[in-house]
Structure 1
Amino acid sequence: MDDNKQKIHFIAIGGAVMHNLAVALKKDGHIITGSDDEIFDPSRSTLEAHGLLPASNGWDTGKIHAGLDVVILGMHARKDNPELLKAQELGLKIVSFPEYIYQRSIDKQRIVVAGSHGKTTITAMIIHVLNFFNRNFDYVIGARVPGVEYTVRLSDNAPIIIIEGDEYLSSPLDPTPKFLRYQHHIGIISGIAWDHANVFPTEEEYVKQFDRFADQTPKGGILIYCEQDPMALMIGKKERSDTLEISYKSHPQTSDNNGQFFITNGKEKYPVKVFGSHNFQNLSAAKEVLKKIGISQEQFFEAITTFKGAAGRLEKISENNTTVVFKDFAHAPSKVRATVKAVKEIHPSRELVACFELHTFSSLNKKFIPQYKDSMKAVQTPIVYFNPEKVKEKNLEALSETDVKAAFANPSLIVFTDAAKLKDFLLQQSWKNKNLLLMSSGNFGGLNLIELSEKIVS
């Protein structure tokens, strides 16, 4: 084996970025092992396809030995994880995946896309355009992009790397937000709305992390921020010496009677497959970044017309002449509001049934859920689903139907705690001239959303 190839073990290999990083490193010739106590799709299928799926769930100290070059520790593990304890005992090199990515890209220009919402789509747009023009670059993104086989690429010769920068903590041993570990040259802040209440108990503490990110912009570096987001504007306008600060807003756009959307540049119109005012903000952000790395405005317009969106982000999963079923990863209050608004914009005359799953620690936290107030106000049939067992697993105070209705401040809200009953309710509806929006970072208690949506539109 090449001297540069390493033996690398992943603790909590099933994470969204962790499993894709493991695949990327195996493709690069490294010897990869990993463990996790539970692995779900799409991580499970991807790991299995590449021969990296652990033989069984759980932790195995036998995989930790002195011959390992590095142990990459995922946030899902705990400080008392037996594999971690053994790695510490052996004095092995232990890093979080953001640290590892930084070390692999230390000689590259690092572009980090941060924000409570929009960062996946902005990153996906940048990747799409660079691929369109066959540029050589590396990337890390948290969702699949049509036409891009893998979500992580780390090479030895690419001069730049595009990174989706999450504000969540790096690892159980490192409470630093991931986006600070990348040490960007060009940083983007798409918008800021309080999330991750389990580690940022107040809005002030959460916003402070983005201020630290902006302050980290080096001399000669660039900070790009959305001027239509109050918090991003406040942080972006702060004076920083020897840095270039660029604001952006929603790109001018129009639509026709067929529901086709266009971005406009003077008298020129370019058809695009994305919709919703937040996506036209995302589009402007991507354009500003690409201008700084050699993609002209004309090239951007040419390439973006073929962008289909990132997987799970306002994704159409079934449709007929009168009904569309959308799936979206929305889980934070700001994402729910933006997603509902976007679907209403594309079909203003259709009724909207929107079903949102409370799944994350924050969304199941009785103190946090009032942040969702009025987020589904524009929905004709608003539905919230949650699994009471998940609340128990997270050691949170029990939630009742009354608690949820009060938090959303929506008297017409329907609450389900049984996935089978939710499915039955949706199948019993009349779907003529009506759309369905499914929003979750989970899986609605294991519902097969493709099968459900096909029954709805059939």
Structure 2
Amino acid sequence: MISEQQLYQQFQEKTRVVILTSKAENNITAMLLHVLNYHDKQVDFVLANGEQSIDESNEFIVIEAAKNADALKGNIALVIDVNSEIHTADFVNSITNGGMLVYNETIAAVKLLVEASTNTIKKYPYQQPNYTLENEVYFIDTNEGKLPLEITNENDIKHLLGVKWLCQHMGVDEDDFYEAVGEFQA
């Protein structure tokens, strides 16, 4: 498997979207790729399990972070939780100057790390959306009303707005995001 340093060297001309997750959040990247694919936004990806798709003409590459994630020097990043295998503070500080970080501000350790960082990046906090469970179907509150989801994992719902921020910075507006995520199954 290719190292993070090699990934950076190979894809330094692309916009690197790095997702720092734990094994418990492995549907986050799948959700992002679903929304992008739903709207015909072609992106490269390299997943932690070794699966990848590369096309030299694509602007973005989505990378699930593994050890040494700071070597990727992400342009856009998502931090869901403090990952015990990765030094999260180094990862936050490795994001390219002027880049952006989306983070879960409800996790105190994440919020503390991000707020302590002096890296010159844009910081976009998110919280879990308001949602309900009715007749075994999750609904989230949106500006247009309640949206039924096919998602069955409550943990995925908690991080849905983090994925929304990534999508918006990759060219998918909020309404289009909700249209696509309503059909995401995990």
The aligned runs of 1:235-250 (5 Å cut-off) are 235-250=113-128
Shift of the 276–285 alpha-carbon distance from structure 1 to 2, 3 Å rule, reads same
> Aligned partners of 1:267 and 1:187: how far apart in 2?
28
In structure 2, what is the equivalent of residue 229 of structure 1?
A: 107
The one-letter amino acid of 1:224's match is V
Aligned to 1:401: none
The one-character-per-residue Cα deviations of 1:250-302 (angstroms, maximum 9, x if unpaired) are 1121221x211112114512211224442222211100111111111100000
Partner of 1:153: 53
Residue segments in structure 1 that go unaligned for 5+ positions in a row? 1-17, 19-95, 144-149, 169-176, 197-205, 310-458
Structure 2: stretches of 5+ with no match in the other structure:
none
> Residue 117 of structure 1: CA displacement?
5.0
In the alignment, is residue 134 of structure 1 matched against residue 34 of structure 2? Answer: no
Partner SS for 2:128: coil
Which has the bigger relative contact order, CA under 8 A and spacing at least 6? 2
Q: Which residue of structure 1 lines up, in the alignment, with residue 179 of structure 2?
A: 302
Q: Give the 3-state SS of the residue equivalent to 2:180 in structure 1.
A: helix
SS at match of 1:237: helix
Q: Residue 183 and residue 107 in structure 1: after superposition, are their counterparts in 2 closer, same or farther (change >3 A)?
A: same
Structure 2 CA distance for aligned equivalents of residues 117 and 222 of structure 1? 23
Distance 2:25 2:16 in 1: 15
**Aligned partners of 1:306, 1:128: CA distance in 2, in Å?**
9
Q: How much has 1:233 moved relative to structure 2?
A: 1.0
Kept after mapping to 2: 8 A contact 1:104/1:154: no
Q: Which residue of 1 aligns with 2:62?
A: 162
Number of residues of Structure 1 aligned to a counterpart in Structure 2: 186
Distance in 2 of aligned mates of 1:116 and 1:103: 24
Deviations 1:176-235 (A, max 9, x none): x2x1221100111101254x5xxxxxxxxx6xx100000112221101111111211111
Match of 1:253 among 128, 131, 134: 131
Instruction: Give the corresponding residue for 2:75.
Output: 185
Question: Structure 1: which 4+ aligned runs deviate by more than 6 Å?
Answer: none
Equivalent pair of 1:113/1:123 in contact (CA under 8 Å) = yes
Q: Tell me the SS of whatever aligns to 1:273.
A: coil
Q: Specify the SS of the correspondent of 1:254.
A: strand
Counterpart residue identity of residue 158, structure 1:
N
**How does the TM-score come out when normalised to structure 1?**
0.38
Task: Note the 1:309-388 alignment, pairs <5 A.
Answer: 309=186
The CA deviation at 1:104 is: 2.5
Q: CA deviation at 1:98?
A: 2.3
The one-letter amino acid paired with 1:102 is Y
Helix, strand or coil for the counterpart of 1:123? helix
Q: Distance in 1 between matches of 2:128 and 2:52?
A: 28
Cα shift at 1:306: 1.4
1:23-422 to 2 correspondences below 5 Å? 96-117=2-23, 119-142=25-48, 151-166=51-66, 168=67, 177=68, 179-192=69-82, 194=84, 196=85, 209-256=87-134, 258-266=135-143, 268-309=145-186
The SS at the match of 1:135 is: coil
8 Å CA contact 1:120–1:141 kept in 2: the answer is: no
Alpha-carbon distance change, 111 to 125 in structure 1, aligned in 2, over 3 angstroms: same
Offset from partner CA, 1:395-446 (integer Å, 9 cap, x none): xxxxxxxxxxxxxxxxxxxxxxxxxxxxxxxxxxxxxxxxxxxxxxxxxxxx
Which amino acid counterpart does residue 110 of structure 2 have in structure 1?
Answer: A
Distance 1:104 1:110, change over 3 A: same
Alignment-mate amino acid for residue 187 of structure 1: A
Q: Which residue of 2 aligns with 1:312?
A: none
Seq. identity, %: 22
Q: Aligned partners of 1:160 and 1:293: how far apart in 2?
A: 8
